[in-house]
Homo-oligomer: A and B are copies of this chain.
């Protein structure tokens, strides 16, 4: 693991790191904020998965999470959204290929060789983090935005024993039922929709996945709300499964980091409470 940069910020260290990933076969870059802490202490972790077109940098620069993480004593990790580079397949559209990994393990060509973001986020990166940072891997939470909200919900629901707290901002709650998701899941996984059910928060819940609670933040002026996000489908799935869902509809807020940064500190505090930080 190579250090790209480390900057002191908000009573902690904001780092950016790079490593050769076995899962994706590429170099992968991620950011980690570590609050100042007592020597030897192990801190809980909050994962943040980013949305379409983003890298680790968007939330790292615009997310306004550091003050809240320093106060709560939580390590904040922001991975990239896909493999990248010259030898990696791509698509001209912003919603497929590089910057759009959708947190799946691709089975279809030309994506399969590198687009293994599920394995990367669920297995490889946690092992690397546990090796290099003072983390308590028994206390993990996960959140994310848009495509990354989909990632947080699905990774959290599939691994409910690992994630004590799951939240999301403007998530794609039902990718199997909306244009972004239908394009990505058919491209990465093929046309057999049975293979999609493990990558859709709503079908995961239908198929028995459970969480103690979910927190979702959604702007009412989000330009993707009606066509791509459809939080009402998650509300219905949670109601049917008796999963307590707090769905905060925020009047006039859109899909941007101006929205995320307004409420990310609230989410950090919500996770901290559940992680006993």
Contact = CB atoms under 8 A, between A and B. Distances in A.
Shortest Cβ-Cβ A-B pairs, 7 listed: A9-B258, A7-B258, A8-B252, A10-B262, A8-B253, A64-B64, A61-B62
A64 B63 CA distance: 9
A103 interface: no
Interface residues of A, number: 24
Interface in A38-91: 61-62, 64, 66-67
Q: Which of A9, A14, A250 has the most CB of B within 10 A?
A: A9
Given A8-B250, A9-B258, A67-B262, 19 more contacts: A7-B258, A8-B221, A8-B253, A8-B254, A8-B258, A9-B253, A9-B259, A9-B261, A10-B261, A10-B262, A11-B262, A14-B258, A61-B61, A61-B62, A61-B257, A62-B62, A64-B64, A64-B261, A67-B265
A259 B13 CA distance: 11
Contacts of A62: 61-62
Interface of A: 7-11, 14, 61-62, 64, 66-67, 219, 221, 250, 252-254, 256-259, 261-262, 265
Contacts of A7: 254, 256, 258-259
A7 B9 CA distance: 26
A50 to B, nearest CB: 15
